[in-house]
A and B are shown apart, each in its own frame.
Chain A
């Protein structure tokens, strides 16, 4: 099912949670709603599910305007952050419950529930109570319960945040597998960029209720539309250097830089943002100098912290590199992963 969101706005008492949000989600896709806490992503999800009514704007499911349709008539399945399993019911009863409400005959609902339990791999736990299961198992049951009534849209509200790191990776792959196997349009709310990057067909990045960018994960990383998007994505976070365009050339932390620029307003404060993997040390002649502060190991590579003017830059170095603190280095940049933003508006120039 295709979802179209049109100028959606949600105003709480004196707080604008979602501001003039428009997006289109293609049928069968898994789309992440990503953003820092309080950016309005859960509000978006609640408006899609029908728990909240929007202040303005419209929501379309395929050709149907569902803006004023009650939650139970929209055909959405919702998985909550805390799973919201009924604690007094067994797994089977939990999965059956949505069908019981729809007055599906008992034999059929048990058959359908068992089918769902098989899909999410909890078929051996049908007699357990929620408290007798691990977080990951509860999560699977919650997904089965959301899917059993054959919804048109599956909504997941931070479904992995209560799980430990290892289980989180396992469950996100499971969510992807289940989503693919039934081809249901899915919206996944998260504040974890790695989660969003790893399983989504597309990511919607939000900040303070405003859509910043909607794109494929790789596009979002390679071609951020503004400074916030570039800052938010990437681990380690992107390097930010103060820059200014003066006398026909770019000065980075006061040092001339040979990056090609055009259509940049003169004298305006800028940020030169570069991905950690795009910083080259002592590889090309350059007038940007820095001092090594320290180096540390993060697995297969090392990272060097470098003081450049008033900013710090992180760069990958070989694990057998001879670079030591206080050493002077020359910095240059790859073509990819280097962006120039307006420091005030966040607008991207290159």
Chain B
């Protein structure tokens, strides 16, 4: 009897802790979204207003009119989409080569690549910048895409997932006459779907939020992306909090939608655990 009570009690504690964690996570987003609907009087009010009196869309209208958000949005979309396609493709091929193909110096080569991960991105900016200037793609969308068409980190994650797929599947397919190429796309990639979705999602968020590199590699508003647009908005639109909130909401919205859409796959990926059979 006593034991049942203590289990229930620890459950309650657990839920309280989890609930607090959830609130801490969600609060900034809530504050941003309601902030976008507030009037300039409400935003600076103290004690803070938790529910805006009316859902006015003026802030969004202002944000969209002041900065060329449509252009930024389209640029972000193009850059993110191209990065995702290229990076996912090279990641899949690289992970396959490093996990299944046997070639001379494979493990040493991979260790070297992993060692490169220790070089911070900020260090690479100078060399990357010189490269895009000498290729003459400075201040174009290409400059935002080309440096991100492959990733050692994602290759590493996917390689480990690929390596966990039993070798016997590969042999079974080989005996049936399946080529490496076909095996990769028909067997490995579908099995690795949970890992792939995770990688794509992480990469999408990273691309979408990328700020430092676009700021350095581009000058003209025609090729700016959303995060830098938001930064520019601060100066162009004045530091009005409710307008900033509206602009920020517009920037974050696609990522939130993407997350809600892909949530099922992420949970599946975690819950699935090991492979049976």
- The interface of chain A, by Cβ under 8 A from chain B, is 49-51, 71-73, 76-78, 80-88, 97-98, 101-102, 130-131, 138, 145, 149
Contacts and interface: CB of A to CB of B under 8 A. Distances in A.
A99 B44 CA distance: 70
Nearest to A72: B177
B277 A131 contact: yes
Q: Helix, strand, loop or mixed for chain B's interface?
A: helix
Given A82-B166, A82-B168, A87 B175 contact: no
B182 interface: yes
Given A82-B277, A98-B176, 7 more contacts: A78-B172, A80-B168, A84-B169, A84-B172, A86-B191, A101-B177, A102-B176
A84 B176 contact: no
A88 B191 contact: yes
A101 B176 CA distance: 7
Nearest to A80: B168
Q: Give the 8 A-B residue pairs with the shortest CB-CB distance, closest first.
A: A72-B177, A98-B176, A84-B168, A130-B277, A84-B172, A80-B168, A88-B190, A85-B277
Given A86-B191, A97-B176, A78 B171 contact: yes
Interface residues of B, number: 20
B276 A87 contact: yes
11 contacts: A51-B174, A71-B175, A76-B175, A77-B175, A78-B171, A81-B168, A84-B171, A86-B191, A87-B276, A98-B177, A101-B182
A97 to B, nearest CB: 7
B176 to A, nearest CB: 4
Nearest to A71: B175
Contact of A130 (B173, B187, B276): B276
A102 B179 CA distance: 11
B178 interface: yes
B200 to A, nearest CB: 18
A131 B174 CA distance: 23
A84 B191 CA distance: 13
B124 interface: no
